[in-house]
Amino acid sequence: MRIRCISLRKHARMFKNVFGSGFLVRTAHVILTWVITLILFLHDTDLRKQEETGELTLPVLFVLLVLVSVLLYFAVSLMDPGFVLSDDCDLQFTLGIAEETQDMIPQTTKSIRLRRCGHCLVQQPMRSKHCQTCQHCVRRYDHHCPWIENCVGERNHRWFVLYLAVQLVVLLWGLYMAWSGFSHAPTWQLWLRTNGVLLGAAAVVAVLSLTVLLLLGSQLYLVSLNTTTWEFMSRHRISYLKHCGVDENPFDRGTLRNLWGFFCVWEPVVWEHVYFKQGNEPI
């Protein structure tokens, strides 16, 4: 019965995600993506030139990459980011410790003190936070992204970074294709009249490219440190980080191990264990 209830709640949440407030944002994103792609094919760009000469490899690869970026966008947007659903058996499974084991944890300057969320009334595992927009606590909360109208958390964070990487490749490729489509004209007025639509599309792509580049760069930097956007911006207000020094991160296991753990380790991490071990305080 319990499993069935959790399953029903997940389906209800997905239905809300698809047709909720983010519906307009997602629709606008998809329309803008395919309109710009259509503009690149309608103007005299390298895409159109190769299509007209029967060399379809480049146009097909470009369209497939755009399609992959759209599918990744919806996957990240509709995916459960790691909502904390209950605080009994699920919490014990997440922490990796049973009730009788909790008493064996040494009482030190660092404590595992679990907070109870005042909004959804569940006990929050370490590194989780309640999102006011989603109205749920999210495990390893990074931030709420208005672009995807969803939180970025434990379950969809690596997919979010992958989406940003693919999206950046699409945008830079599209910007190059737009540049290849500008035609010459004797006057500026005639040039703007001829290339106005393509210029507008290129301007949008350029702004989005810069935005995605900065976002991807910041995400990779934080991942390499094994910290989150929330922890980086609000460490002075987070109970388990307030006592740490400015350059101290209890979750940092070295750049290579941080990147490997983020991209290659799919099992849930018990952050309470990492927190204590990094402080050389064995559990």
Please say if 145 is a catalytic residue.
yes
**CB contact at 8 A, 75 and 148:** no
CA–CA dist 157, 142 (Å, integer): 8
Q: Which of 75, 69, 70, 50 is nearest to 60 (CA)?
A: 50
Q: Which two tokens stand for residue 197?
A: 């639509």
- C-alpha distance across the termini of the chain, in Å: 35
List 131, 134, 137, 145, catalytic entry: 145
Whole-angstrom Cα Rg for the chain: 23
**CB contact at 8 A, 124 and 114:** yes
By annotation, the residues acting in catalysis are 145
